[in-house]
Amino acid sequence: MYRETHARSVAKAVSWRVMGTVATSLIVLAVTRRVVLSLAVGVFEFVSKIGFFWLHERVWDRLRFGREEVQPVVVWLTGLPASGKSTLSQWVADALRRKGFKVEQLDGEMVRRLFPQIGFTRPERDEHVRRLGFLASKLEQQGVCVVAATVSPYADSRAFVRSVCRNFLEVHVATPVAECQRRDPKGLYAQARRGEIRNFTGVDDPYEAPLSPEVRVDPGTMTIEQAGAQILAAVQERMRYRAGPTDGSGDVAETRKSLLDDRLAVG
C-alpha cells in the first residue's frame, strides 16, 4: 500500500509549474524573439502562479462549502456457522472500497486461526466477541469503515459491541439451520452431531438471534448481490448522520442532510 507524501505532492506541483513556465517562455520567445523578455515573463509567471496557488488552497481549506464529514460505520454480520457471513462481508467490503471508503474486514474465524487458544465455552466466546468489537470501535475512531463477520451468538456480547461503537449496524444473516447444514463446506455440523465437536453453535450451543437488527437478510432465498445491496442501502442511511449523543443503544441522535447519495448509490 502506498500513500502520497507531502514531498511528492510538492514536487509534482513544482514540476507542473516548471513545464508551464517553459511553455510560456517559448511562446513569448517565438512571438518577440527577445530572450531576456521571455525569461523574465517565465520567471514572473512561475512565482506569481505558485503564490496564487498557495493562497487559493489556503482559502479553500477554510471554507466548508462542499465538504461533508462522513461518519464511518461498523457493519456487524452475525449468524449461524456456514450462513454465508464471510462471503457477504467480502462483497460489502469490496463495494465500499470501490466507492472510495477506507474499509477493514474482521473475521471471527480468521482471528481464531491466529489465536488458536481461544475456546468455545460461553465465557470464551463472549471475550472473543468483545475483543473484536473493541478493535472495530478503535478502527472506527480512526475513520475506517469496519465490516465484521462473526457468529457472535450471544445477545449480551453484541450489545457490548454496540455500546462501544459510535455508528453500529447489526446485520442478521438469517440463513436457516437446515440450509447451513446443507451448505456446510467443512462438515462441522455433522461432526458436532456425532459428538466430535463440543459447544457448536446451532447444535449443542444456542444462537440468540437478534430481535431487532438494522438489517436482516437470508442468503438462502436471495442472491449475494441482493443481500449486499440491502446492506449498502442501510449503510447509506447510517452515513447520513453525524456522530452525536446516543441513548445507550448506539442510535445516533443528531441528523443532517447528506451529499453522499451519488457516491453511495447502489447498482
Report the interhelical angle of 224-238 vs 85-98 (nearest 10°): 60
Answer for the pair 67, 242: CB distance below 8 angstroms, yes or no. no
163 in active site: no
Q: Which amino acid is at 241?
A: Y
Distances in Å between the Cα of 146 and the Cα atoms of 19, 41, 72, 133, 225 are 43, 53, 8, 10, 19
Catalytic residue, candidates 15, 152, 163, 249: 152
Number of continuous H segments (helices) and E segments (strands) in the chain: 10, 5
Distance, CA of 156 to chain centre: 24
CB 74 within 8 Å of CB 137: yes
Contact of 174 with 79, CB cutoff 8 Å: yes
64 backbone dihedrals φ, ψ, rounded to 5°: -90, -5
Q: Which residue numbers are catalytic?
A: 152
